Structure 1
Amino acid sequence: MDAVDLSIFASRLDAVSDEMGAVLQRAAFSPNIRDRLDFSCAIFDARGQLCAQAAHIPVHLGSMAYAMADIVRQIDWQPGDMVIVNDPYLGGTHLPDVTVIAPLFVADELLAFVANRAHHADIGAESPGSMPISGSLEEEGLVLAPTKLVRAGQLDSPFLENILRQVRSGTTGRGDFAAQMSANRAGLARLAERVEALGPTAFTRGLVELNEYAERLASEALRVIPDGEYRFVDYLDDDGLGHTDLAIAVTLQVHNGSVTVDFADTALQTPGNVNCPLSVAAAAVYYVFRCLMPPQTPACAGSFRPIKLEAPEGCLVNARRPAAVAAGNVETSSRIVDVVMGALAEALPQRIPAASHGSMNNLAMGYAGGHAGEPGTPGWDYYETIGGGMGAGRHGGGLSGIQTHMTNTRNTPLEVLESNYPLRLRRYALRTDSGGAGARRGGDGLIREFEFLAPASVTLLTERRTHAPWGLAGGEPGQPGVNRLNGDPLPGKVRLDVKAGDVLSIETPGGGGFGKPAASDEGRVTRDEEKH
C-alpha cells in the first residue's frame, strides 16, 4: 500500500474498534460499562498481534497486546467461536476484567481476531464489587481460563449459567456478557466487509505493513532519548495486609532507538493484592513510550517492538500464581507509569511531566447478605474509580479532577448512582490547592462524599495516601489523598461494614508541580491568584 492507502486502511480498522465500543456501551446493563465506559475493544491478526484499537483504557489494551498471542495459540479455533478469559496468569489483568475473543474466518481461512475486555463489578468474590482485600487469587472471585463460550455459533448455555450462578448480579451479568458478544459480532461483520473490499491477501498484507510502519515510527521517536542508563525508584504505600513501602525500581537502557526496561531491583511479590502479572506491567511500560511517539503512530504491535521488558519472576510486577492481583491492575500499574516517567525525566527533562495523582482511588461496595445488613435485603454491587490531579509539565499546569494514565473511564453521574443504588452523593467538588505548587501548578484532586441509605459492605483500594505524587524541576509534590468515614481517617486499603446514615468521604491526591514555585510556603500562590 502507498502512504495514503495505508492511512485509510488504519483509520478503517480503528473505526471498527470504535463501533465495537459503541455497541458494547449501548447494549450493556451495568452502569460500570454503560456509564463509566470501563471497557476496551481491539483487533488482532491471525497470530494474535495487535493491529488496531479504540481509544479506550491503556491497562486493558496494553495487556491484551502483550498476551493475546499466547491466548490464541491455546485454542483450536473454528468459525463462530467465542472464547472467554479473565485469568491474570493466562493473559488477563485482574478477575473483574473479562475478555471475549472471536476469530474472523473467510473461506475457512483464519485472518484476524476481534476482542473486547470489560470490567464486571461482580465476578463472584465474597465482598461486593469483587475488589477485596485479598491474599490469594481464589479470594478475588471466579477464575476463567480461556474457554469457549460460543462454539460454532452456538452459545454454551450451561457454561454461562454456571458463571451466573456464582455471581450476585445474575441479570446484570447476563446482559453484560450478551453485550460483549454483540460487540464482537459487530466487529466481525465490519471486518469482513474490509476483507471483501480488499481481498484476503491484500488485507493480511495490510496488517503486516501497518505494523512495520508503526515500528519505524516508534524507533525514530525513541532515538530522541539520549543513549544511556537511567534509574528511578518509587514506592507503593502498602499491600493492605500490613506490608508497607514496597519499592518499584526501574532501569532504562537506551540504545539507538531501542529501550530495555528492567525491574530487577523491585520488591518481591507480597501477601496483599498489589502484585501484578507481567502483562499489566507491560501495559504500563507501553503506555509511557507510546506517549513519546507522534500522534499518527498506529496503535499496533509494531509500535512496541523496540521495547524490551525484563522483570524477575516472583517480583511485585511479575508475580507467580496464586498471588492476589486485584489492586495490581489498578494501583501498581499506575506506579509503574510513575517510575518509568521518573527515569525518563533524567533523559528528557523538558518533555516529562511531574507525577499525577497515581491512584485509581478504587471504591467497591454493595450488599452481600448476612454480615452487612438485614435478611431479605436485595443484593447489589457497585464499583468505581475516582479521578485526581494531573502532574504539571513544562508547557502547562496539570488538569484537575480527571483520570490519568492507565485508566480512561468516566465518573458515574450522580443521577445514575442515586437511581440504581441506596446511596446519596452529598458532595462532589475539586479539592482546592491539593496540586503541588510550582512555576506550573499540579492539578487538584477531587472530593467525593457518599451517604449510605442502607447497610452495605465497602472496600477501598487507594494509593498515594502516604507517598505523595512527586514534583519535577523544583516543583512541589501534590497533596496525598485522605479517606474518612464519618470524619474519622481510614487506611488507604480497608474493608468495612457501614450502616444507614454513615458518610464516606474520599479526597483524592493532587498532581505534582513543575518548576520552582513563584511564592514561598508561607505565601503560597492559590490557583485563583495564578489565573490573574
Structure 2
Amino acid sequence: MTLSRTDPVGLAVFKSATHSVAEEMGAVLRRTSFSPNIKERRDYSCAVFDGDGAVVAMGDHMPVHLGSMPMSVRAAIDAVKMERGDVVVLNDPYAGGTHLPDLTMVLPVFVEGEATPVMYVAARAHHADVGGMYPGSMGLCREIYQEGLRIPPVRIVRGGEVVRDVMALILHNVRTPMEREGDLMSQIGACRVGAERVGELIAKYGVARLRELMRGLLDYSEELMRAEIAKVPSGKYEAEDFLDNDGFSDEPIRIAVAVTFDSGAGSVAVDFAGSSEQVRSSINAVYAITYSAVYYVFRCLLAEDAPATAGLMRPVTVIAPDGSIVNARLPGPVAGGNVETSQRIVDVLLRALALAMPGRIPAASSGTMNNLTIGGVDPRTGRSFAYYETIAGGMGARAGADGVSGIHTHMTNSLNTPVEALEYAYPLRVRRYGYRNGSGGDGEFRGGDGIVREIEMLGEAQVTLLADRRVFAPYGLEGGGAGALGRSSLVSGEEVSELPGKCSVAVKAGDVVRVESPGGGGWGLVR
C-alpha cells in the first residue's frame, strides 16, 4: 500500500509545504531582480528536487521552464561534485537547458551525517541579453555559437562565496552587465531562501521521513496519471501542424505526432516520428523542450491540485527522432525552439488528444509568443539597453466558454510589460496597447482576441522579431473557425511596411513597430 493511501493528510500537508518553498523562491526572485523581464513579466521558474534530482514541487511559473528544468539539475549533478554552499549555473541547451537566455542555478541541500545532498533547489530566469549577434539574444542564427554565451554546468558560488572569475566571464560577454549581475545575484538569493526553507522541512520531519514523503508524492502523481490515461480508449491518435518557416526560406516545417494509449496498462507513448529534420535556423527545439511540452499537456489533464512531480511522466514515453526539429543536435541554433516550436508541439498534441477525448480539448490558442527584442544605446544614459518581451494573444475557445483575450497561453505563463515600466526603463514609448477586436475565430464559442502593441523608438535601435502563425492560422475545433493570423509592421513616417515574422531590422528615432498577435480558434458550429 502506498503512502498516499496510508497517510493522505500528511502527504497533502507535505505537498503544500514543498510547493510553498518554490513559490517563495519565485517571490524573492521577482522582488529583488533588476530587469523588467523578470520583475514585471515574471519570466522565471523555481522548483524543489529530491536527492536524485527528481522534481517534487514546482512553483506556478513558466511551463516551458518547469518541464525541462529536471534535465538541467541532472546535468549539474553529473558534471559537478557539489559541496555545501555551492551554486551551479548553466544554460547549455544540450545539457538540459532550453535556450541560452534561460540561466538555471542549482543549489544542493546537505544535512549533518549525510555525504550527498538530501535535496536540491533550482531557479531559472530568462535574461534579457546573453550576448550573441543580436541585442536580446533572440534573433535568427545559423548555429548556436552565434546566439550568445553558452555556459556548461560550473560553480558560480563556491562554499558560500561568489566565484568572481565566473561572474566576470559572464558579464564581459553581455551588453547589459549591471542588469545581468543584479538578476544573477537575485537568482542566487532565491536559491538560498529555498535551501533555508528546505532545511526547516528537514528539521521538522527528519531525513528518513522526508525521503518517505518525497517517494510518496512521486508515487501518488504516477497513480493519478495512470488513472487518467486509463479513461481514454486504447488506440493511436495522430495529428500534424506546421511552423510557418525557418525565417530563411518559405518552406513550412512539419510537426507530426502519434499518441498511443494503452488504457489497460495506464500508459501512453508520444511519438514525433515524421516531423521535419532540424533546420539551420533558431527554431530548432532540443529534447528537453519537447519533453517539457508533453509534460505540460498531460499535466493539464489532471485536476489543478495534482502534485506536479516527476512521477507524472512515469507512464508517459516520449519519442523524438534525433536530428529532427523536436530533438536537435549540435550545433543547431535553438533560441526560437523554446518559445515558438514549443507552442506548436503543444498545438499538435492537443489536436491529437481532441480525437481521443472529444469535447474536452480547447481549440488552438495564438500559438506564438511573438518575441520582440529591441536593443541599442539609450540616449538618456549613453549605456547599452536590451528590451525583451513576449506579446500575448487569444486563447482558444472550448466547450462551454469563449476564449480569453490578450493572454499568455500554454508554454508561457508570463505577463505583458506594463507601459509605465517599459517607458521608465527603456528609450521607448508605447503608442498603442489594446485588444485586436475580431481576431478570435468564429464558433458557438468564440476564440479570444489578440493584442495590438505599438512601440515608438526614441533613438536608433535594432529590432528583432521571432514569431509564428503568420501563415498557418490557429485551428478551430468541432466546426469552429480559425483565429486571425498574426501580423507585424514598421511605421516610418508615412510609410508602413510589413515585417516578416522572423527578422531583424535597424530602426531610427520616431519609427514605430506594430505587432498584432493572432487570435484563438473558435469551438463548435455557430448555432
Would you call these one fold, judging by a TM-score over 0.5?
yes
Report deviation, 1:378: 2.5
User: 1:393-431 CA distances to partner (integer Å, 9 max, x unpaired)?
Assistant: 112110000000000001100000011111110000100
Partner of residue 525, structure 1: none
Q: How does 1:70-81 map to 2 (within 5 A)?
A: 70-81=75-86
Give me the whole-angstrom Cα distance separating, in 2, the residues matched to 1:91 and 1:382. 26
The answer to whether residue 130 in structure 2 is matched with residue 123 in structure 1 is yes
Partner of residue 528, structure 1: none
**Closer/same/farther in 2, CA of residues 15 and 173 from structure 1, 3 Å limit:** same
Partner of residue 240, structure 1: 247
The answer to whether residue 301 in structure 2 is matched with residue 296 in structure 1 is no
Is this contact kept in 1: 2:73–2:122, CA < 8 A? no
Give me the whole-angstrom Cα distance separating, in 2, the residues matched to 1:278 and 1:162. 28
Is this contact kept in 1: 2:395–2:407, CA < 8 A? yes
Is this contact kept in 2: 1:66–1:283, CA < 8 A? no
Counterpart selection for 2:18 from 13, 24, 41 = 13
Is this contact kept in 1: 2:394–2:406, CA < 8 A? yes
Give me the whole-angstrom Cα distance separating, in 1, the residues matched to 2:71 and 2:13. 25
Q: Percent identity?
A: 47
Partner of residue 60, structure 2: 55
Partner of residue 477, structure 2: 472
Count of aligned positions: 514
Report deviation, 1:214: 0.7
Counterpart selection for 2:27 from 17, 22, 27 = 22
Give me the whole-angstrom Cα distance separating, in 1, the residues matched to 2:306 and 2:35. 33
Report deviation, 1:243: 4.7
Q: How does 1:106-505 map to 2 (within 5 A)?
A: 106-109=111-114, 110-256=117-263, 257-367=266-376, 377-486=382-491, 487-505=496-514
User: 1:296-331 CA distances to partner (integer Å, 9 max, x unpaired)?
Assistant: 210100011111000110000000011000000000
**Which consecutive unaligned segments of at least 5 residues does structure 2 have?**
none
User: 1:505-531 CA distances to partner (integer Å, 9 max, x unpaired)?
Assistant: 00000000001124xxxxxxxxxxxxx
The TM-score, its normalising length taken from structure 1, stands at: 0.95
Say which is worse superposed, 72-81 or 427-436, in terms of deviation: 72-81
**Which consecutive unaligned segments of at least 5 residues does structure 1 have?**
519-532
Letter in 2 for 1:349: P
Is this contact kept in 2: 1:85–1:144, CA < 8 A? yes
Q: Secondary structure at the match of 1:292?
A: coil
**Closer/same/farther in 2, CA of residues 184 and 65 from structure 1, 3 Å limit:** same
Report deviation, 1:334: 0.1
Give me the whole-angstrom Cα distance separating, in 2, the residues matched to 1:414 and 1:307. 42
Is this contact kept in 2: 1:66–1:282, CA < 8 A? no
Letter in 2 for 1:271: R
Q: Secondary structure at the match of 1:516?
A: coil
Q: Secondary structure at the match of 2:67?
A: helix
Report deviation, 1:132: 1.4
Q: Secondary structure at the match of 2:252?
A: strand
Is this contact kept in 2: 1:79–1:108, CA < 8 A? no
Give me the whole-angstrom Cα distance separating, in 2, the residues matched to 1:409 and 1:235. 24
Is this contact kept in 1: 2:73–2:106, CA < 8 A? no
The TM-score, its normalising length taken from structure 2, stands at: 0.96
Give me the whole-angstrom Cα distance separating, in 2, the residues matched to 1:149 and 1:49. 22
Give me the whole-angstrom Cα distance separating, in 1, the residues matched to 2:59 and 2:364. 26
Letter in 2 for 1:310: I
Report deviation, 1:65: 3.0
Q: Secondary structure at the match of 2:465?
A: strand
Report deviation, 1:135: 1.1
Q: How does 1:36-51 map to 2 (within 5 A)?
A: 36-51=41-56
User: 1:61-86 CA distances to partner (integer Å, 9 max, x unpaired)?
Assistant: 00113453343222212111100000
Letter in 2 for 1:283: S
Report deviation, 1:108: 4.6
Give me the whole-angstrom Cα distance separating, in 2, the residues matched to 1:132 and 1:156. 30
Say which is worse superposed, 305-314 or 126-135, in terms of deviation: 126-135
Divergent runs of 4+, >6 A: none
Q: Secondary structure at the match of 1:244?
A: coil
Is this contact kept in 1: 2:71–2:95, CA < 8 A? no
Letter in 1 for 2:171: L
**Closer/same/farther in 2, CA of residues 230 and 12 from structure 1, 3 Å limit:** same
Say which is worse superposed, 470-479 or 215-224, in terms of deviation: 215-224
Partner of residue 530, structure 1: none
Q: Secondary structure at the match of 2:395?
A: coil
Say which is worse superposed, 116-125 or 293-302, in terms of deviation: 293-302
**Closer/same/farther in 2, CA of residues 243 and 273 from structure 1, 3 Å limit:** farther
**Closer/same/farther in 2, CA of residues 366 and 266 from structure 1, 3 Å limit:** same
User: 1:125-181 CA distances to partner (integer Å, 9 max, x unpaired)?
Assistant: 231111111111011100000001111212111110111011111111111010000
Q: Secondary structure at the match of 1:10?
A: helix
Q: Secondary structure at the match of 1:335?
A: helix
